Structure 1
Amino acid sequence: MELIITFLVIALVLTLALPAVLRHSRRSKFNLPPGPKPWPVIGNLHLIGPLPHQSLHALAKKHGPLMYLRLGSRPTVVGSSAAAARFFFKTHDLSFSDRPNTVVGKYTAYNSSDIVWSSYGPYWRHVRRLFLSELLNAKRLHSFYSIRVDEVHALLRSIFNASPSVLLKELLFAFTFNVISRMAFGRQYVAQDFEKGIDEFMLLHGVFNLGDFIPWLGFLDLQGYVRRMKLLSQKLDVLYEQILVDHEERRHLEGDTFVAKDMVDLLLLMVDDHPTTDDDTRLHRDNVKAFIQDLIVGATDTPSLTIEWAISELVRNPEKQRKAAEELERVVGRERWVEEDDIPQLPYLVAIVKETMRLHPAAPLLLPRLAREHAVAGEDCGGYDVPAGTRVLVNVWAMGRDPAVWESPEEFWPERFLGSAVDVKGQDMELVPFGAGRRMCAGYGLGLKMIQLVLANLVHGFEWLPPAGMRPEEVSMEEAGGITLTMKVPLEAIVVPKLPHHLY
């Protein structure tokens, strides 16, 4: 018995001491970025609050825009500046193009086989090309233009019918889901069947699961996240399986006359249910389900959240809303709705979208990357080392509040983008809401089209006011947790139709 107790004590001491020993060894070998002193075992995890992007922003103010943390046993570097983003996404993009293994990828993304969580390699490159060249290319997106127009008009009618008081979040989710449902699946599915699952999905992607950072605690699932991930995966799999069955039944009925009509049809044509050892780029049934999930999540959550934040800012800033409405009336007139071709002639509207993405990026903390090899930052980032195996986080929420880049960064001021060449398409590191480099969001083009078109029509067709008895500045802009930036208090606004009634 005494021998067992002695062994347990020694094991505990080694467990507590090992992180400090490794940290000392690592720091003596590498010129690591500055950061807070870690505690034994948990490292710096105790410094991460329920809104990680805000916690990391506060730490970066103290330790610098390139900061080193130990999250449990995982070495992590956090970038919070345009220079850091340039280092990760441009100068050494290939070095930082991998993903770490996480339980959320394992249990909610079909063993990390989707485009988001799959490791960098032949499979990921094949899937990336598939998305860009087959599913989301410019020609295909243009071919679905009529779907986007139909659903925008349906959204506007829903708002008109719900007026004067509108809870925007639910209507926006239904709109974005209907668009991707018709584009990707060839028909409308019921948005409400997916909504709670997608909300849970986004929440679980934003948590800091202890097992990812302290692996020997993983089997305990102390926070209960793994159990929730497994339950969620089972529920969503039933929905995705039904989508596949519906498509296979149509293909069987049409026989030799079958023609691929939507994205799932194209994916199923590429499926090979007989895996081989000599080709690791083959697609299987679970891969298609993973891609369906990517399409739903990417096309619903990001656009709807961005639009809700934008309208909230316009409710809080009536003079900005009037300026946008005047531009729309001047360019579009009062006898029709805004069309996608009008957007280039609406610089102030485009500036509102950019300013919203600066202050309220849909993904405030981009999904983690993993250093495939050792890289050294340039002098603009301090010349620090980032060793192979280090996790990398880029805090775009903090970047949008950098006073060295943005004048009055906490102020909603779209005018800052008028005449500015800064864009959101991954080339300007000051503003990367969709990420940049190899791991940039593959569907950013579709997302941007939907955000701009919907926001333009919402401002063109309605005046947006705070709830009765509330002043504009009292509209809550408090944030909730999750991988995406959601409003803690969903916007409920008073809407006043402005155009002739026959348009609604």
Structure 2
Amino acid sequence: MRKISMLELLSNHKVGMLEQVRESEVQASIKDIYDTWKKNKGVTNILKMEMKPWFGRLALKMAVRMLAGKRYSCHEHESGRTRDAMRKFLELAGTFTVSDAIPHLRWLDMGGYEKAMRKTAKEIDYFLEGWIEEHKRKRASGQVKDEQQHFLDAMFSTLEGASSKDYGGFDVETIINSTCLVFLTGITDTLTVTLTWALALLLNNNHVLKKAQAELDIHVGRKRQVQESDLKNIVYLQAIIKETLRLHPPSILLPARDGRRICPGITLALQVVHFILASLIHGFEIKKPSDEPVDMTESFGLSNMKGTPLCVLLAPRLSSYLYEQITG
């Protein structure tokens, strides 16, 4: 499955092919901020916004688009339901229970964690099975062409005709379901955690934020939006992400640099993190709501999420037509 995943989603060729998808989702989310600012700016021309949900929505939309070719509106009920289920899944996965130490007490379900796990599993199965059924119908009706295939379709094609004996007793749909879950959790949570910490650190070090924006003004200017092709020139921003990962690694279980166990999606993840952060700080002036330092309390769980909200004050840096011309 790792080989299939690398070939069909994480190879340099596939990452390059999905560049337009990533750019359109990021630019559409930037426009969402601008539209919200325009509607709620008030007399101060400043928008107060909590950034963790915005990062989470964008990461989820991007992941779903790459995996299933499905566009999610950040206002759709299903999108919020999916995001909440993924967050709860990661919280529960990192929770220590009494039965972890004393398995014989599992039947007591102290704290109600197993009940919560079953409920969350049903939520996740609900939307994953929905995607799988939708794509099975499309494939059966011939609506999917080879050049339009995304990861779900590629997996169906690769595993077509396979039996449970080939994959340790698991049927094809279970394998596809599980693989998609791995990617969804890996992409959405890692991106949200890393971007939240990066912005928090920048707000606490305003001179670094200004220097990063100056670098973007030099290499991109203020007459267009950031593109992924610009990232190779933005070396100071790359250093910011490296320092963020050093200070606040997204997972407590990150392996050492072993070619065999390192995250197979690291190339894609770093590309997306750099692009989202560059687009955000290039498109908006960002400040803290008060003179107090940003609270850097960490939360408990499988991922190293910031434990408190990240509220910021936003105002556009670019000409209005650059935001309004985005169609998504």
TM range (shorter): 0.7 to 0.9
Other structure's SS at 1:478 match:
coil
Equivalent residues of 1:316, 1:475 under 8 A apart: yes
Equivalent in 352, 360, 364 of residue 240 of structure 2 = 352
Aligned counterpart for 2:137 among listed residues 249, 259, 262: 249
Counterpart of 2:293 (choices 454, 474, 481) is 474
- Cα distance 1:490–1:252, how it changes in 2: closer, same or farther (>3 A)? same
Where does structure 2 lack aligned partners over 5 or more consecutive residues? 38-46, 73-77, 324-328
Residues 219-228 or 288-297, more deviating: 219-228
2:231 aligns with one of 336, 343, 354 = 343
Deviation at 1:213?
A: 2.5
The AA in structure 1 aligned to 2:97 is N
Q: What residue in structure 2 maps to residue 484 of structure 1?
A: 303
Per-residue deviation at 1:220?
Answer: 2.3
Q: Which one of the candidate residues 262, 265, 269 is aligned to 1:447?
A: 269
1:67-146 matches, within 5 Å, as: 127-146=1-20
Which SS does the other structure have where 1:333 is aligned?
coil
Instruction: Specify the code of the residue in structure 2 equivalent to 1:176.
Output: A
| Mapped pair 1:161 → 2:44 | no
Indicate how the Cα distance of structure 1 residues 439 and 309 shifts in structure 2: closer, same or farther if over 3 A, else same: same
Of residues 239, 245, 253 in structure 2, which corresponds to 1:366? 253
Aligned AA (1:210): V
CA distance in 1, matches of 2:29, 2:244: 21
TM-score normalised per structure 1: 0.58
Q: 1:275 aligns with which of 159, 164, 172?
A: 164
**What is the alpha-carbon root mean square deviation over aligned residues?**
2.0
Conserved? CA contact 2:94–2:300, under 8 Å: yes
Unaligned runs of 5+ in 1: 1-126, 368-393, 395-425, 428-435
What one-letter code is carried by the residue in structure 2 that aligns with 1:215? P
State the AA in 1 paired with 2:100.
D
Distance 1:238 1:213 in 2: 31
- 1:487 aligns to what SS in structure 2? coil
Q: 1:245 to 1:279 in 2, by over 3 A?
A: closer
Aligned-residue identity in percent: 30
Q: Secondary structure at the residue paired with 1:165?
A: strand
* 8 Å CA contact 2:194, 2:244 repeated in 1: yes
Confirm or deny: 8 A CA contact 2:163 2:171 kept in the other structure.
no
SS in 2 for 1:493: strand
Matches within 5 A, 1:206-221: 206-221=94-109
Q: In the alignment, which residue of structure 2 is the partner of 1:185?
A: 68
Decide whether aligned partners of structure 1 residues 209 and 459 sit closer, same or farther in structure 2, where only a CA change above 3 A counts.
same
2: CA distance between counterparts of 1:274 and 1:360? Answer: 42
SS at match of 2:141: helix
- How many equivalent residue pairs? 307
Number of the residue aligned with 2:42: none
Q: Which has the higher contact order (CA 8 A, sep 6+)?
A: 2
Q: 1:281 to 1:218 in 2, by over 3 A?
A: closer
Alpha-carbon distance in structure 2 between the residues aligned to 1:209 and 1:443: 30
CA distance in 2, matches of 1:288, 1:312: 36
Larger radius of gyration: 1
Please say if residues 152 and 454 of structure 1, whose CA atoms lie closer than 8 Å, have aligned partners that are also in contact.
Answer: yes
Q: Which amino acid aligns with 1:487?
A: K
